[in-house]
Amino acid sequence: MTKPRRALLTALTLLAGAGAVAAAAVTETAQNATATNATREEDGLHSLMVKAGKMYFGTATDVNTFNDTPYQAIVSNKNMFGMITAENSMKWAAIQTSPDTYSYADADQVVAKAKANGQQMRCHTLVYTQLPSFVEKASWTNETLIAAMQTYVKNVVQHFKGACYAWDVVIEALGDSEEKHYRDSIWSQNIGPAFIPIAFAAAAEADPEAKLYYSDYNLEFFPDKASAVVDIVKDLQARKIKIDGVGFEGHLIVGATPSRTDLAASLRLFTDLGLEVAFTELDIRHASLPPSDADLKKQADGYVAVVGACLDVPRCVGVTVWEFTDKYSWIPNSLQHQGDALLWTADYKPKPAYDAVMALLRAATNTTTGADGTTAGDSKSGVGRVSVGSVLGGFLGTALISVWLLL
């Protein structure tokens, strides 16, 4: 979500100036956080996910939330979130502020807080299109851009070495639609498709322990886009370049979320290649606001389909939501009149989607068979067939994405 997130950064900057407003909000919402705090010593999304045999349930967060007390009570609870992703502060635009300046302070704080809370990090992201303006504006050749990328990847991966369970090495390299094509970027313009293997090779050399991921959105909807990622994976494997996982970002729409079965089939396209998979940026937004009770129920069904699909695929390691409260979602800043996409309201009330995911996980930990009756280990069935309904939902999603990229 390139341009929207740039808009978000601007919004966050404005927010940082509004200290008085934030302070008032903390006092107001503190009472409501108490209920959520009650889960501190009990089960939460992460601890139940682990009991269900997965590695984690995680969330994106960033330094803009550090003074928000009720927020911190939830995000710091390792039973709730066992995996942390820095939403913005590990992106190239945030880290390399000038050719000679690497600014790690914000990202280091996110890592330190996660460590103090007993949480792991998914590190995000190395080669992407949110770039510092000096990188965007420079006049590159294939050779000079490859050298700049290799230097950046080496410096950043070595800086965070040991702190990252996984790196999103490259995200969103492909276009928005169902067609197979590379997104127009300085990478595709100057280097061509070779930028992906070059980035993965540089990351593998800098930290051989971290899991290396390619992540993208709309893989949930478009068989051709998913199959383009299959080709990327096979190309890396043929070159003996390390890739460990594929991330499904999971920016989905209420009422247009693929079924649990279809999502699991899409995940298996990659586990069949020997990779692990994860949902890395999950949010399920309402296409119009405010949501009705029926919409909230449909949203809950969507979250259950996504988390359920991960439960159904043995090498799906976990699910990360792209923030957990509507208060900090990127969506309203980028998609007018859409949103309320997360598990908690802006005033920290758990939504029906939260209750539904907790119920799904409780049920999954209460039996040795999956909630749909299949036993674990079933990784061969399904070849990524996606229903017509899902594809139509995808067109809706693409139409919306295309509109906001033009903004």
Question: Per this entry, what is the length of the chain?
Answer: 407
* Residue 323 buriedness (CB in 10 A; 0-12 / 13-18 / 19+): buried
Select 26 or 376, whichever has its Cβ closest to ligand NAG: 26
Residues paired with residue 120 on neighbouring β-strands, in sequence order: 83
The C-alpha atoms of residue 63 and residue 298 are separated, in whole angstroms, by 32
The C-alpha atoms of residue 160 and residue 72 are separated, in whole angstroms, by 23
The C-alpha atoms of residue 222 and residue 234 are separated, in whole angstroms, by 18
Contacts of 382 (CB under 8 A, 6+ apart): 261, 264, 265, 268
The C-alpha atoms of residue 49 and residue 317 are separated, in whole angstroms, by 10
The C-alpha atoms of residue 77 and residue 75 are separated, in whole angstroms, by 6
Select 322 or 344, whichever has its Cβ closest to ligand NAG: 344
The C-alpha atoms of residue 159 and residue 153 are separated, in whole angstroms, by 10
The C-alpha atoms of residue 47 and residue 349 are separated, in whole angstroms, by 20
DSSP string covering 245-275, please? EEEE--EEETT-PPPHHHHHHHHHHHHTTT-
Residue type for position 353: A
- Token readout for 214 is 């390619």
Residues paired with residue 170 on neighbouring β-strands, in sequence order: 127, 214
Would strands 164-171 and 120-127 be described as parallel, antiparallel, or unpaired?
parallel
- Tokens 């499904």 belong to which residue? 248
Least distance from C-beta 32 to ligand NAG, angstroms? Answer: 4
Would strands 251-253 and 164-171 be described as parallel, antiparallel, or unpaired?
unpaired
The C-alpha atoms of residue 279 and residue 72 are separated, in whole angstroms, by 23
Select 18 or 105, whichever has its Cβ closest to ligand NAG: 18
Residue type for position 101: T
How far is Cα of residue 20 from the mean position of the Cα atoms in its chain? 31
H helices of 18-124, in order, are: 19-37, 45-51, 69-75, 92-95, 105-116
Residues in contact with ligand NAG by the rule CB under 6 A:
28-30, 32-34, 37, 40, 70, 73, 142, 191-192, 194, 347, 349, 362-363, 366
Q: Residue 401: how many CA atoms within 13 Å on its side-chain side?
A: 18
